[in-house]
Structure 1
């Protein structure tokens, strides 16, 4: 009975202590305590007001929610910066009378990531995603909010995975 108790105790110890080095987001080996997300300017030819703030906040939120890093306004060990380079609406499918049946909103963001503690992790990369919607609807109000939520959720998760999760 004592050996059974020792085995259970040892197994529990290994399980708990391994969580220090690995977790389900893959971010267990981050050697930083702070991160900084600079304001992402909107340099796209077609400008939708306010999306730069929405994206910046979405990126801050995903990092705060999925790590123990502290957000700072300057001097962060991990630095995210860049710009929104594309906001484009294009017709995707047509009806028999040559009208658009479906449109696609595509947003692209250029991200520069710097890790002061591990410079080999630095990158500059373009992330992009889209949202399809019926052509008879305008990209305003709740339609725009839904599209931005979908697109920015995907882009910020891709940025997070590339910079921290290493999946």
Structure 2
């Protein structure tokens, strides 16, 4: 595979893998939340009530708008990766955050002992893509060393980007 083809597949592949994953979340998220939060509230009473109220307040319009905002963030990371031949710290952090967030989805499904939005595509697309992309970047000599603090930062950035996406999504959708 040529370097340009590999670069485009690895870098824009992030956006493609993310889109497939978020299609699952779009199709199932808000409906799953409405149906399952009452059960989860009882099962996990240690979770603060304000968290449950925040989760329940997300409707389909807000969720869809938030996915659109996240698409812009992931798209920007993919472009940065492509423009730098995969060297961009933003791109590599996005790949790491994406893969780690897939592990969070798998852990969520294990915690509830069943399906959660994103738990099907996480082991089939998210985690394998992140591992594959990291391998390609490593073989290309551009992968930054993996450190525990980078993993923590990747998860924090993914969580922060999700929060920002929902805040902007709430504004765009006009939900309260």
TM-score over 0.5 (shorter chain): no
Considering Cα pairs closer than 8 Å and 6+ residues apart, tell me whether 1 or 2 has the greater RCO: 2
Rg larger for: 1
TM-score, structure 1 normalization: 0.29
Larger helix proportion of the pair: 2
Larger strand proportion of the pair: 1
